[in-house]
Amino acid sequence: MIAGKKTKTAYFCSQCGAEHLRWQGQCKECAAWNSLVEERLPTKGKSRRAASQVEHVKLSEISDHPIQGYFSGIAELDRVLGGKLLPGMTVLLGGDPGIGKSTLLLQAAEAYSARNLGVLYVTGEESLSQIKMRAARLNVGGKNISVVNATDIEDIIAVIQSSSPAVVLIDSIQTVSSGQFDSPPGTVAQVREAAQQLIRVAKEQNVALIMVGHVTKEGMVAGPKVLEHMVDTVVYFEGDSSHLYRLLRATKNRFGSVDEIGLFEMGPRGLTEVSNPSSFFLSNDASVSRVGTVVTAVCEGNRPLMVEVQALVASANYGSPQRVAGGIDHRKLALLLAILEKRCGYPMATHDVFVSVASGLRINEPAMDLPIMVAIVSSLLNKPVDHRVVVIGEVGLSGEVRGVTLSDRRVSEAAKLGFEQAIIPRANKSQISAGGMRVTEVNEIQQAIDVILG
Ligand code: TYD
Ligand code: MG
């Protein structure tokens, strides 16, 4: 884009939306490389209203009768949205392309429609016949769903005003653009402007608004991060394209907790709720003790999930040994290996180490330290870990085992699923009310290894 003499331009980061006066290689805000894009600044001047026209009300005088919200009846979705969708609430649904955002949106539309709420589904990505095909596949009848194929913000606002739906769904915000800007759709300026206008209309008309935002890795298209500060609730749809589960996670919620996740499974007929999330990630033959496989309980939000950690340790033949981490941070793996080498004397420097969290989950939780280390030593020593044992604990740099949050919830979930022994940090001892579970407290990494593999 070449700027004329009089048009003002600035450089926007397509990852976080930060504005820069000059081009530079790295964004000053989010440190992303090569993400700055030159865009024209809007030319329209803002008209200022006289101060006397602006209303102000005493906080104590604002009526506080409870607002009626909208349940979808999809429990996994409602929970993540903070219970229910409220009139005027704005939600950003982010996620990688192809993860299932449009599928979730259409299923949510059907759920609201089935509760006699008017839904307006605005798509700039698919034609009406494509939507119809998808709806047929998902068994969506849609008696209260109106579908619009539009990308112009003025058109979309006109439809919202004339049809006054309860819920508006936008798929996706990156396709919506305003004629007032010359920048192409999807650029930071366009995406921001479109979102701002939609949010204003949603608040004025008291409609609940859900906007889809694709996560973009690089390039011209602005990612959902650009909008996070503008909306009430931000939820991300995550998952691994080679696995069927999908996790819905709230990262910001003005009206509820962000400690909630929703778990879905993608099937030929769309998304279904996972009813037994805590055992969902365990393999079917979890009743066999294996070398290098340890079960742990991680907490995603407030929910305990049982997951398997697997490690494979093999002699390194040449050069520097390999470290491959799937589902956990590779720096974390390097750190845990250094602790094993230095504090326990295991010869990790001469071995290749591969660690993965089964089912392709990505987990960043301190309570995984101990199970990962036990899995590694189990593989190194070629000794199996009893499949009836669940291991939790954070490990400090001097090899001490530290307490974890929500330890009681993790242990009781494991007991419910039939695990017989829990290895927990000593610091958590007083918090555990073990129902039928043998609980062993450990203080040091070596002590845990002796108990489990001794
Ligand atoms: P989609 O909702 O179009 O993703 P997004 O809007 O996030 O880009 O979902 C795309 C993927 O989901 C696609 O690879 C096919 C798969 N899918 C199913 O497995 N089952 C289904 O019933 C549907 C509709 C899609
Ligand atoms: Mg889509």
The pTM for the full model equals 0.81
225, 115 in Cβ contact below 8 A? no
334, 309 in Cβ contact below 8 A? no
Q: What is the rounded distance in angstroms from the CA atom of residue 360 to the CA atom of residue 260?
A: 20
pLDDT band at 219 (very low <50, low <70, confident <90, very high): low
CA of 125 to the centre of ligand 2 (A): 7
pLDDT tens by residue, 425-439: 999 988 888 677 899
Does the Cβ of 246 fall within 6 Å of ligand 1?
Answer: no
Does the Cβ of 224 fall within 6 Å of ligand 1?
Answer: no
Residue 51 confidence (pLDDT) above 80: no
pLDDT tens by residue, 113-137: 999 999 999 999 999 999 999 999 9
> Which ligand number lies closest to the CA of residue 271?
1
Does the Cβ of 371 fall within 6 Å of ligand 1?
Answer: no
Atom 10 (ligand 1) nearest CA = 98
Q: What is the rounded distance in angstroms from the CA atom of residue 163 to the CA atom of residue 161?
A: 6
Q: What is the mean pLDDT of residues 69-93?
A: 91
pLDDT tens by residue, 220-257: 667 888 889 999 999 999 887 778 889 898 888 888 77
Atom 17 (ligand 1) nearest CA = 270
pLDDT band at 3 (very low <50, low <70, confident <90, very high): very low
* Distance between first and last Cα of the chain: 67
Q: ω before 60 within 30° of 0 (cis)?
A: no
As given in the structure block, the two tokens for residue 226 are 């650009």
Closest CA to 211 of 105, 119, 117: 105
Query: If you average pLDDT over each of 10-19, 44-53, 146-155, which comes out highest?
Result: 146-155
Atom 1 (ligand 1) nearest CA = 100
Does the Cβ of 266 fall within 6 Å of ligand 1?
Answer: yes
So what's the pLDDT on residue 437?
A: 87
So what's the pLDDT on residue 13?
A: 87
Closest CA to 324 of 349, 346, 353, 348: 353
**How many residues does the structure list for the chain?**
454
So what's the pLDDT on residue 315?
A: 93
Residue with tokens 């993540």: 80
Q: What is the rounded distance in angstroms from the CA atom of residue 264 to the CA atom of residue 131?
A: 21
Q: What is the rounded distance in angstroms from the CA atom of residue 89 to the CA atom of residue 255?
A: 9
141, 110 in Cβ contact below 8 A? yes
Top mutation candidate among 103, 131, 210 for ligand 1, by most atoms within 8 Å of CB? 103
So what's the pLDDT on residue 103?
A: 95
Residue with tokens 């009846």: 73
41 CB-near residues (< 8 Å, 6+ apart): 7, 8, 9, 10, 189
So what's the pLDDT on residue 4?
A: 45
pLDDT tens by residue, 358-378: 777 888 889 999 999 999 999
Does the Cβ of 97 fall within 6 Å of ligand 1?
Answer: yes
228, 93 in Cβ contact below 8 A? no
pLDDT band at 295 (very low <50, low <70, confident <90, very high): very high
